[in-house]
């Protein structure tokens, strides 16, 4: 039985990691055709295609993802071995790459990574990457990210997306937030007739929940501004003098300082926070522990 050619496996690993055949070929001082030929030999050895081409982009097949998982361990451990033998340094850090949707609350993100900041029992080096949903899922598929955080439920559509694993991390009630001197002190919508609002855009899940609440009470909000980014909405709520609808975690500092106050919570309306992963045989232990935290710890 012939042995696995680790040169072929290394070339595959580099292309799968970087997602660009041309760039990897240049860095290895190979022609694209020579690099492609080496990967084809690995595919022949495995008996299955490891990549498929979609719109001029190389995407890992299911077999390719499995091979990549093993290659990731093999070559990461190889780098650690080189450090140990060459410099007497034994790497003890787990690498964790966290992607997050650009519109998410930074306060929630900070709560999620709190164990990494406060000491989780592991030596960890982690990185945070803020991108659009399409870019995050692409990074996850290419194994450039270990987990993606989002406040939007993933809608499966197609064979690739069906492989995503979406886990509910936390759900937080939405509250009417505003300056203390604007609080009418009466149940919504009484006393809200002359007040203005800063709200997420119409397609945002928070906005849809609030619109449904307004429709129930036959109330039409006077909208000063709209913003999808939670950091921007936090600033608008803090500085505009208008009301907003947010999970309290978004403005927890302003609530604590008394710059804003929570008028009331909307009944049965929540913002949900999700973690998206791909099935992996070698999930970093620290990621598994973060995902296993009880909902109440993130609320």
Q: Does the pTM exceed 0.85?
A: no
* Residue 158, pLDDT above cutoff 60: no
Q: Which two tokens stand for residue 199?
A: 């709200």
79 pLDDT band, cuts 50/70/90, is low
5-38 per-position pLDDT tens digit: 888 988 998 888 888 888 888 988 889 899 999 9
265 pLDDT band, cuts 50/70/90, is very high
95 pLDDT band, cuts 50/70/90, is confident
CA 229, 116, 298, 185 dihedral sign is negative
82 pLDDT band, cuts 50/70/90, is low
> Structural domains in the chain?
6-86 (1.10.10.10), 93-168+275-294 (3.40.190.10), 171-273 (3.40.190.10)
| pLDDT score for 90 | 47
What does the chain come to in residues?
A: 299
Q: How far apart are CA 278 and CA 98, in angstroms?
A: 13
275-293 per-position pLDDT tens digit: 999 876 567 778 888 888 8
What is the percent of the chain with per-residue pLDDT over 70, rounded to a whole number?
A: 87
Mean pLDDT of 215-220: 94
* Residue 249, pLDDT above cutoff 80: yes
Q: How far apart are CA 258 and CA 179, in angstroms?
A: 8
Mean pLDDT of 116-136: 81
């Amino acid at each position: 039985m012939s042995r696995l050619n680790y040169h072929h496996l290394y070339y595959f690993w580099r292309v799968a990691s970087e997602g660009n055949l041309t760039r990897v070929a240049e860095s290895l001082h190979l022609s694209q055709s020579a690099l492609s030929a080496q990967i084809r030999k690995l595919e022949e050895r495995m008996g299955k295609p490891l990549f498929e081409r979609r719109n001029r982009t190389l995407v890992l097949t299911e077999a390719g993802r499995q091979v990549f998982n093993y290659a990731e361990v093999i070559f990461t451990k190889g780098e650690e071995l080189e450090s140990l033998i060459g410099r007497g340094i034994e790497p003890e850090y787990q690498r964790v790459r966290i992607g997050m949707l650009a519109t998410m609350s930074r306060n929630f993100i900070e709560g999620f990574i709190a164990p990494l900041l406060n000491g989780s029992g592991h030596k960890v080096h982690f990185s945070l990457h803020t991108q659009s949903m399409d870019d995050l899922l692409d990074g996850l598929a290419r194994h450039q990210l270990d987990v993606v955080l989002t406040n939007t439920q993933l809608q499966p559509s197609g064979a690739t997306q069906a492989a995503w694993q979406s886990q509910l991390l936390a759900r937080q009630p939405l509250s009417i937030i505003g300056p203390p001197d604007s609080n009418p002190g009466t149940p919504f919508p009484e006393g809200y007739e002359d007040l203005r609002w800063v709200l997420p855009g119409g397609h945002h899940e928070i906005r849809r929940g609030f619109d449904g609440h307004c429709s129930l009470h036959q109330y039409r909000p006077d909208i000063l501004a709209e913003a999808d980014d939670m950091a921007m909405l936090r600033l608008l709520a803090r500085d505009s003098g208008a009301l907003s609808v947010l999970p309290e975690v978004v403005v927890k500092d302003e609530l604590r300082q008394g710059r804003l106050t929570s008028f009331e919570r909307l009944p049965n309306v929540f913002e949900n926070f999700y973690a998206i992963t791909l099935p992996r045989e070698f999930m970093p232990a620290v990621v598994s522990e973060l995902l296993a935290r009880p909902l109440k710890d993130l609320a």
